Structure 1
Amino acid sequence: MKKILLLIACLSAASFLSVAQSAKAPANTPVKPADSSATKKPASKAKSYDQVITKDAKSKKGLFTTHQIGDKFYFEIPKKHLGKDMLLVSQIAKIPNGLGGGYVNAGTSSHEQLIVWEKFQEKILIKIKSYAAVAADSLPISLSVKANNYEPTLYMFDIETYSKDSSQVVIDITKFYNSDIPAMSGLDATLRETHKVKNLDASRSFIRSIKTFPLNIEVLQDFTYNASKPSATPYTETLSMQMNQSMILLPEKPMKPRLFDQRVGYFTQKQYDYSSEELKSDQKTYIQRWRLEPKDMAAYKRGELVEPIKPIVYYLDPATPVKLRKHMKKGVENWQKAFEVAGFKNAIICKDAPTAAEDPDFSPEDIRYSVIRYVASTTRNAIGPSVSDPRSGEIIESDIIWYHNHLRSYRNRFLLETGASNPNARTLDTREEDIGEMMEMVISHEVGHALGFPHNMGASSSYEVENYRKADFTNKEGISASIMDYARFNYIAQPGDQGVRYIRKMGPYDDYAVNWGYRVLPDAARPEDEVPTLDKWIEAKAGDPRFRFGNQGTTFDPSSQTEDVGSDPVRASTYAVKNLKYVAKNLADWTSKKTNDYEDLIELNDELLSTWSRYVGHVTTMVGGVYEQYAKPNQGISSYNPVPKASQQAAVNWLLANAFSNVDWLINKEVVTHHMAGYTDRIRSLQVSPLNRMLSLETFARLDNSGLTTLNNYKTIDLFQDLRGGIWSELASGKNIDQYRRNLQKAYIERLKALMTDQAPASTAGVPNGPARESYPVAQSDVRSIVRGELKALQASLALAKSKYADKEVRYHLDDCMERVNLILNPRK
């Protein structure tokens, strides 16, 4: 019976559908399937266009037509733009004082994401799209890629109406831009927690403006939050800021990407390509770069310099002090020479921002403009971020951030690092020409980041140490092979070295890297077709240290360090410390005795201690150090080579003589008597840091590995024996043990105790064997055996030494050290 009733129901339904279809269309006329993108009349429930977009609307045409009616805003979206890739960039426009601790400011980009607008039934969705995994649409696997990379929906809108010709959909975007959406906010979870942000106050938040242009839309939001700990005016419990939301239509045809090669430094964009016929997905890594295309390709092929179709243009923030603008412009346009090596002239230009009369729509937050932002902040830094197309690595826009107080840090370092040999640096009133050149080079460095270049920390080790004392060499080559290194000043030149250059400049690596990444290869149809030519360019420079890229991320390569210059850290730091002693002796004469105030002296003396610590750190890296050289198999060279034994022993001896003893010169009595409490502990901390770094599991792991490639290697036991002999040298001689040495000796015992007793495995970060590094098995290694032997040897030396000292403080120290060693070897139950 049930089957009969079911059959009747089905026949009735079929009959109903047949009647309905015949009523809608003549016989034999096929019924078209629903098509969300086809032109059609709006659904009956939708209002007419004139009912939504009334005569009171203030309308502007652009990428989307925008309408404002009272406090409501509408987008009129052409259907042709549905499904098109767009970039949504959220940028801080105005910010309260103190928010983010100095590195969050006007111009900071908080979010950057690729979006598409899609129609689903009578809704419009914003989907966040990813190109992390891709496959050719023609391949079946593309279905799986889409299924396993489903895109999140950022927001959903009701369709309010359609344009009169039905080619555009109209949505109300007021709530979207008035809402506190995490994916577009300038406040991340940390900032919200720090300032105890409760919620967005809708009554005090609003859309300030919406501007539409042919390829982009700019929305300025004014947001006020209830926050119990705002960064400024705490009594108000209010945090207000402005956000700019830039949405730009990406090119229909992405720029042809260029495959990354780790032998040349570039920021990158990664994809997993499932189109490969190999037995795995291909990870493809593309460099980030601007789209530079020759105006005259025929002339370009002939080797002539050609202007690009669209040059890279930077605008100066109107807030930039007038006297600094020429230096900023020069810093940007220093890169023109490098682009000429790649075949382009006038490829990068810097201009003043247009006035309101010249362009009333100009805004530093507008994604069409790259701007050097001048930020009123006490932060001493500058940064060069950029926005790029995730499909190809094409850089779309960048904002260089210059913080107002940054030049003070350069004045201080100029005095400390070059004052011994450079009379022009021995002042608090640095010459304008020197300050201007420093600023110019900082801007060049930050523009380099915005062009796609990361730090190249290997560039400053390209030149022999003695060359830094020669005027002809330094004036021609500078102090580093690249502006992208942290080599700021020539701290090696000695008093009496005449005419040397002290301030960094652009180098040969910069020309080389621009040519490698930006030169157009018109005959290469695919990125893979470019690789043979790109490889030849690299191999032609192989063996020349000026063209080597040194990764900033290494902690073990003494030829790839921050803030260093010269190919030999021991020799360079010897000169550097000698200079710093001269500066320390004269620092009061150059500061407080001139100003009758201790502020600058105290500030500079604190930085002097940090400078000394840097020089010590450069030598410390030699111990357990490994030279890293990126290479392909056909080059026939080793990627990792341990620092030779003799060089490591020389580094340890230098540290024993310059870091672990003879530090009295660091004590500035004028500072101690007028300001600095805890000075002794500061020295202790600066000495203990390199000691612990040498006696780390990371160092032991590298020393172990070095024995696999060479027989005459510096071993862990060599390090322990050298350190014990040096740090405890007084025990054999009976020489006085001052407070700094006593502190260091106790720190040595505490470090050995940690190696003997710590149960938790320590990370071996810095071991050059790939990212998947296991924890160093200290309990199963020779380390504890060596430590036990060294403690017993120290125990015997302490027992013999006690009778040599009459000083009660020293005797107590030795008794304490003996007891500490005994407790490590024979812990109490």
Structure 2
Amino acid sequence: MTLRPFAVFALSFAALTGTALAQAKPAASPSSSPAAAAAKAPAPGEPVAYDTYVKDAVVQDGLFQLIRKDGKVSMLIKADQFDKDYLQTAVPKNGLGGYGILSGDVFQQEARVVRFVRSGKSVIMLWPHTRFLADPNTPLADAVRLSTADSVLGVAGIVAQRDSDKAVVIDLSPLLGDVMDLTTTFNDVLVSPTNPAGSYHLDPTRSYFGLSKAFPKNVVIEADQAFVSLKPTVVDTVVDPRSVQMRVAYNFAELPDAGAYMPRLVDDRVGYWDDLHISFDHTERMDNRVHYVLRWNMKKSDPSKAVSRAEHPIVYTLASTIPLEFRDPIRRAILAWNKPFEKIGITDAVQVQDQPNDPNFDPDDIRYNMIRWLTESNSGGFAEAQITWDPRDGQIFRSGVMIDSDLVRFGALEYRVLGIDADGSEDPDREERVAAHNHFAHNDGPGAHAQLMYAAVAQAIAQGGDPATIAKRSAQEFLNEIVLHEVGHDFGLGHNFIGHMAYTSAQIRSRDFTARNGIASSVMEYNPANVWPAGMSSGTVEQSVLGPYDYHVIQWGYSAIPGAKSPYDELPTLRRWASNWTDPRYRFASDEDVAWNGHAVDPRVSQWTLTNDPLSWCGTQLGLAQHLIGKLDARFPQTEHPYEEERQAFAVLVGQYGRCATNATHWIGGEYLSRSRRGDPHAEAPLTPVAYGDEKRAFAQLDRYLFANDAWHYDARTLRRLVYTEYAPFSNFGYAPAPRHDLSVADMAARFQQRALGYLYSPLVLARLDDMPSKAAPGSTMTISDLFAWTQSSIYGDIANGKVAQAGEVRRNLQRRYAVMLRTLAVDPPKGTPYDAQALARHELAALDHDAATALGARGLDLLTRAHLEALHEDASRALHAQRVISS
């Protein structure tokens, strides 16, 4: 099955304009002759002769010839380059120094097929539709062509032509427009919702061509573009935020030879990124979606041999900007991926070289796979794989990794850890808005960096020493783990968030075991630091080696299958290999299974957890974090160091604590989701409800570590030390202090508590709990009534038991917020909330109303406690007597 590109718009446009031009063409003069016509200069707006045009111009030869003249850039298109598919990308050449706008980010605009279509005196730069498939030269192919629409990058005027070979020169001025839609990105990440006047737009009067480069397989044209705002929000990473200059590199490249590559079809039991298409052939198939695996065309140079060198090895180049001390761990991590390829008979599949000390070397040459080092001011540290693939069949032909320097620095990032901005405010939707521009966005950077900091703080408290020095010593092994993960993405691998379930706590506490197998079955996990309390043995801190799943996934995706002539011929073998999903070592579950919005049901699928008993592991980590916080004052700060160091360490520990405390919510109303298929060995049912005992254990963890009155109690002396370094530079550059000098425990607790309650009482979770009795034996799982009863007892038990006077600020705030949540469920429930949940919310409000009224009758209540009970009584009473207007 092959792809048929579509150009309906272009062909229609060409037909219409061609007709109009033909009708407007003047009749030839009787005295005209070829010789006389040649002697005449072209009329204004008519293309000039090629030789005339290139006179005094700079000509760059490559895949396309580029011509620089009078501040403009033009491109020669030969006759055989029209109506042919090429690849087009647009990549930021500079970043913003932060805010997620990154130099070299290939996902700012994903690669697209581009086609040059002649239309009269212009050339249409067309993005043809590549998603829909039909066998060529069939009625279905014609139907697809007529049913779909292409998109247009721009319309380029023809400024010169070469009659000898029918080549034309086009003006590339359309590239000075906002082709990659940076305007939307700027407004999403830089503009505050409270300052709509601060929106950005492209200023064409301050946009111009930058460098241009021509290589054998691609050409690059840079555009320097100014994005302006009349009233910008403070952006302290540029000189003047009213005008932000971005350099965009446009790349026109040769596509791989599709005939030399056979796509592979995705299987949901094995984790690969995919290239989605819709096929209109084979009506006998239930699903017409076709998912091609994203992967390299990796083959043996001699297929007849059991073991042979790679025909086209993947060669990575380490940019000269990478600090010397980090080049070795990066190199080791990349080369480690040779091992699974060797298992399938391909040697030297992956190679690494340093950037040559050659002025002619250029990382923009598409033949190079670059590992680059960035310096961002507020990114929090991250690494991101960068891949380019053929949109027609999923073949990867260029890759790389971006690494931000903050990733290996022990730094002041406590606000990101705690989920608040540096100025103390919250913008909970900003990360989602940024990620919306990147289908492959992943947030392991800040989370991974937090793990490096956590391990350093834990070691500093347990053994003494400067955590920054400890982190620096650990940075190389940490970076090795990060690059292992990102290079896995470079091979097309997706995340695997169930890999921790393959090992027991005893196994990952064995240094010998983890040195051979890792702390999880895959480097594609988001693995936390493997840290245990004093007195307990501990394995390696990081995932330092590839796990068994990583070997399995490479075998599935890259092994040749003898005799297969089409992707469908491979399916019997691929399905047999994928059936190993039932083995915990080879199990796979990805991002779609870990999004905790109620859709993801399987609590085994999680980030930053370890062992096949995550609840017990988190219980250990919660106790460890509490213990370490209690020891902070004895170790932080070091002599003559600022108290901000203790503030950072506290934030790291609370971040670790909050992650584990809220993790337990995923077990409430959970169901184990099996990807195995009927007939797979040891196949499980597609859905298996979490047992009542495990749900009860999970809620007990929430009650003890999240909702309890003493869960957020810290030594007052410690809290008085948690300040930031107050220093306003003369120019105020980068100065955005928090409103408070200290850290508010009440605010921190509220964020984690609200995250947990928001999940537990989301419509999807409530609906699942309400439905559970229809799918499970009575008493085998918790019910929706259990959730309301357990939460009521956990949050209001002190009021019912006459101990409300012992409640502190954190507890009182929690009680008020939960009353508001119950009122919303009873009076104005979100769409999809079950009727049973609405009734139970009303029932619990009535209980609260009664208990608060009773507690108010107690003697000796202090003023604050009495006012709090009165407010709760009022909240419950108003909700119970509220009237709703129901539309007809």
TM-score by length of 2: 0.80
Q: Is the 8 A contact 2:218 2:253 kept in 1?
A: yes
Q: Is the 8 A contact 1:335 1:348 kept in 2?
A: yes
Q: Partner of 1:4 in structure 2?
A: none
| 1:489 corresponds to which of 517, 529, 536 | 529
Q: Per-residue displacement from partner, 1:207-249 (whole Å, max 9, x unpaired)?
A: 3332222221122223344543574555584322222111111
Q: Per-residue displacement from partner, 1:343-382 (whole Å, max 9, x unpaired)?
A: 221211222112234xx1x333333222112111131211
Q: Partner of 2:783 in structure 1?
A: 715
Q: Partner of 2:370 in structure 1?
A: 371
Return closer, same or farther for 1:276/1:719 CA change in 2, 3 Å cut-off.
same
Q: Is the 8 A contact 1:159 1:169 kept in 2?
A: no
| 1:565 corresponds to which of 594, 610, 617 | 610
| 1:583 corresponds to which of 625, 628, 637 | 628
SS in 2 for 1:256: coil
5+ residue gaps, structure 1: 1-19, 24-41, 762-774
Q: Partner of 1:463 in structure 2?
A: 503
Q: Partner of 1:267 in structure 2?
A: 273
Q: Partner of 2:806 in structure 1?
A: 737
Q: Is the 8 A contact 1:198 1:226 kept in 2?
A: yes
Q: Partner of 1:670 in structure 2?
A: 718
Q: Per-residue displacement from partner, 1:173-206 (whole Å, max 9, x unpaired)?
A: 24234x224347687463698464454344x543
Q: Partner of 2:433 in structure 1?
A: none
* Aligned-residue RMSD, C-alpha: 3.0
SS in 2 for 1:124: strand
Return closer, same or farther for 1:474/1:604 CA change in 2, 3 Å cut-off.
same
User: Is 1:253 aligned with 2:258?
Assistant: yes
**Structure 1 Cα separation of the partners of residues 187 and 775 of structure 2:** 46
SS in 2 for 1:613: helix
Q: Is the 8 A contact 2:94 2:102 kept in 1?
A: no
Q: Is the 8 A contact 1:382 1:442 kept in 2?
A: yes
**Structure 2 Cα separation of the partners of residues 47 and 803 of structure 1:** 94
After superposition, residues 725-764 of structure 1 pair within 5 angstroms as 725-731=793-799, 733-735=801-803, 736-739=805-808, 740-761=810-831
Q: Partner of 1:816 in structure 2?
A: 871
Q: Partner of 2:416 in structure 1?
A: none
CA shift, 1:84, in A, is 1.6
User: Is 1:278 aligned with 2:284?
Assistant: yes
SS in 2 for 1:150: coil
SS in 1 for 2:525: coil
Q: Is the 8 A contact 2:202 2:227 kept in 1?
A: yes
Q: Is the 8 A contact 2:66 2:75 kept in 1?
A: yes
CA shift, 1:760, in A, is 4.2
Q: Partner of 2:89 in structure 1?
A: 89
Q: Per-residue displacement from partner, 1:766-815 (whole Å, max 9, x unpaired)?
A: xxxxxxxxx34x3xx21122223333334444444445562323344333
User: Is 1:115 aligned with 2:114?
Assistant: yes
CA shift, 1:558, in A, is 1.2
**Structure 1 Cα separation of the partners of residues 652 and 189 of structure 2:** 33
**Structure 2 Cα separation of the partners of residues 70 and 688 of structure 1:** 60
SS in 2 for 1:692: helix
Q: Per-residue displacement from partner, 1:618-642 (whole Å, max 9, x unpaired)?
A: 1111111122221333335322222
Taking every aligned residue pair, what percent have the same amino acid on both sides? Answer: 23
CA shift, 1:323, in A, is 1.3
SS in 1 for 2:304: helix
Q: Partner of 2:772 in structure 1?
A: 706
Return closer, same or farther for 1:573/1:390 CA change in 2, 3 Å cut-off.
same
Return closer, same or farther for 1:547/1:281 CA change in 2, 3 Å cut-off.
closer
Q: Partner of 2:438 in structure 1?
A: none
CA shift, 1:284, in A, is 0.5
Q: Partner of 2:246 in structure 1?
A: 241
Q: Partner of 2:847 in structure 1?
A: 793
**Structure 2 Cα separation of the partners of residues 456 and 85 of structure 1:** 35
SS in 1 for 2:409: helix
Q: Is the 8 A contact 1:209 1:219 kept in 2?
A: yes
5+ residue gaps, structure 2: 1-26, 31-39, 192-197, 411-447, 724-741
Q: Partner of 2:341 in structure 1?
A: 339
User: Is 1:354 aligned with 2:356?
Assistant: yes
Q: Is the 8 A contact 2:603 2:666 kept in 1?
A: yes
CA shift, 1:66, in A, is 2.9
| 1:176 corresponds to which of 174, 177, 181 | 174
Return closer, same or farther for 1:707/1:594 CA change in 2, 3 Å cut-off.
farther
Q: Per-residue displacement from partner, 1:656-694 (whole Å, max 9, x unpaired)?
A: 122211324445632335531533232233233323322
Counterpart code for 1:530:
E
**Structure 1 Cα separation of the partners of residues 669 and 279 of structure 2:** 39
**Structure 1 Cα separation of the partners of residues 319 and 859 of structure 2:** 67
User: Is 1:444 aligned with 2:484?
Assistant: yes
SS in 2 for 1:182: coil
Counterpart code for 2:700:
N
Counterpart code for 1:405:
D
Q: Is the 8 A contact 2:76 2:170 kept in 1?
A: no
Q: Partner of 2:727 in structure 1?
A: none
Q: Partner of 1:58 in structure 2?
A: 58
Deviates more, 1:728-737 or 1:269-278: 728-737
Q: Is the 8 A contact 1:734 1:805 kept in 2?
A: no
Return closer, same or farther for 1:451/1:664 CA change in 2, 3 Å cut-off.
same
Q: Partner of 1:36 in structure 2?
A: none
Q: Per-residue displacement from partner, 1:150-178 (whole Å, max 9, x unpaired)?
A: 32332333444543532x4121324234x
Q: Per-residue displacement from partner, 1:237-287 (whole Å, max 9, x unpaired)?
A: 432222211111113425211101111111111111112243887211111
Return closer, same or farther for 1:584/1:618 CA change in 2, 3 Å cut-off.
same
Q: Partner of 2:560 in structure 1?
A: 520
Return closer, same or farther for 1:244/1:828 CA change in 2, 3 Å cut-off.
closer
Return closer, same or farther for 1:522/1:216 CA change in 2, 3 Å cut-off.
farther
After superposition, residues 469-548 of structure 1 pair within 5 angstroms as 469-491=509-531, 493-498=532-537, 500-505=539-544, 506-539=546-579, 541-548=580-587
Return closer, same or farther for 1:515/1:74 CA change in 2, 3 Å cut-off.
same
**Structure 2 Cα separation of the partners of residues 191 and 707 of structure 1:** 44
Q: Partner of 1:764 in structure 2?
A: none
Q: Is the 8 A contact 1:67 1:75 kept in 2?
A: yes
**Structure 2 Cα separation of the partners of residues 569 and 499 of structure 1:** 17
**Structure 2 Cα separation of the partners of residues 103 and 188 of structure 1:** 8
Q: Partner of 1:686 in structure 2?
A: 752
Return closer, same or farther for 1:794/1:69 CA change in 2, 3 Å cut-off.
closer
Counterpart code for 1:642:
P
Q: Is the 8 A contact 1:115 1:127 kept in 2?
A: yes
CA shift, 1:517, in A, is 0.9
Q: Per-residue displacement from partner, 1:20-74 (whole Å, max 9, x unpaired)?
A: 9xx9xxxxxxxxxxxxxxxxxx999876745434443433432223333453443
Deviates more, 1:245-254 or 1:627-636: 627-636
Q: Is the 8 A contact 2:296 2:397 kept in 1?
A: yes
User: Is 1:325 aligned with 2:343?
Assistant: no
Counterpart code for 1:648:
E
CA shift, 1:828, in A, is 7.6
User: Is 1:551 aligned with 2:590?
Assistant: yes
Q: Is the 8 A contact 2:64 2:76 kept in 1?
A: yes
Deviates more, 1:49-58 or 1:444-453: 49-58
**Structure 2 Cα separation of the partners of residues 209 and 398 of structure 1:** 23
Counterpart code for 1:738:
A
Q: Partner of 1:210 in structure 2?
A: 212
**Structure 2 Cα separation of the partners of residues 532 and 408 of structure 1:** 48
CA shift, 1:459, in A, is 1.0
**Structure 1 Cα separation of the partners of residues 209 and 250 of structure 2:** 11
**Structure 2 Cα separation of the partners of residues 94 and 648 of structure 1:** 49
Counterpart code for 1:79:
A
Q: How many residues align?
A: 760
**Structure 2 Cα separation of the partners of residues 402 and 274 of structure 1:** 42
SS in 1 for 2:108: strand
Q: Partner of 1:200 in structure 2?
A: 203
